[in-house]
Amino acid sequence: MSQTLPQLIVIGATAAPGNDELPQYLDPICIPDDNPNNCLIACVAPWDGSKPDFQPVSREQFEEECDEGYWQRLQERQEFSWNKRLIALSSEQPPVYMIDKQAYEIVQKMGKTALEEVASDLEQNQYEISTDERIWYASRALSDDPFSLLALIALERGHLATETLKDLGAELPSPEKYNSSLEQLARERSWDTLIDIIATDPTGKNYLKIDNRSYFLEDFQDDIGFLSELNEKIGAPDQHCGHTL
């Protein structure tokens, strides 16, 4: 479809993600400012790598999808632009529409904050439901860096089905191609417990190496029940839903 169209106004989004699906980029739904009944879905970043383009949809379908809770209407209408992204960051706030570079930076920042909070909880030997939610959030927000996925696999191993673990592992690069700025950050900030848990995980040990046994392993190397206790604190498997950006 040609992009030489009248000015488009963003009025909605093609998803209404819940807490277990955040953060998430959304496709904006637009209308020409001179024809509000002509809706267009802007496929800004097609999953199959095809060229960004518009997909027409009836106004009736848009209203039905919103009423059923699959799509959502946006109260604040903004002018559409190809260099902007619509992103849901929190279930307590509506999606925000901003320059794509700024959106990416915000997602990265929030993901690192979530990962740091997970590391902090582990250092204090406490793992709450909120911690569990943060590691999923971090893995989705920081999906470009394999360290976040390694952390998710290691922390959730006792509560995910074998097939799910296999699917998550398939998203990792080979150990030979592993490169992670997040691991460097973790070492710089002494997230020792998180690093040790990943490095002793059946998957993580192929990626992370520890030269010297840290205080964490020294404290718990004889406590064979520690990891099972940690898993108990994480929660039941049906509380989780992996979803990546």
Residue 229: is its pLDDT beyond 80?
no
Largest CA distance in the chain: 71
**Listed residue (82, 84, 90) closest to 107, CA to CA:** 90
Q: Is 35 exposed, middle or buried (0-12, 13-18, 19+ CB in 10 A)?
A: exposed
Mean pLDDT on 11-35: 94
Residue 1: is its pLDDT beyond 60?
no
Residue 58: is its pLDDT beyond 80?
yes
Residue 21: is its pLDDT beyond 50?
yes
- Residue 32 near residue 6 (C-beta atoms within 8 A): yes
pLDDT digits (tens, 9 = 90+) for 152-204: 999 999 989 999 999 999 999 999 999 999 999 999 999 999 999 999 999 99
- pTM over the 0.85 mark: no
Integer Cα distance of 116 and 135 in angstroms: 9
Integer Cα distance of 17 and 234 in angstroms: 23
Element (H, E) at 32: strand 28-32
User: How does the average pLDDT of the chain come out, rounded?
Assistant: 86
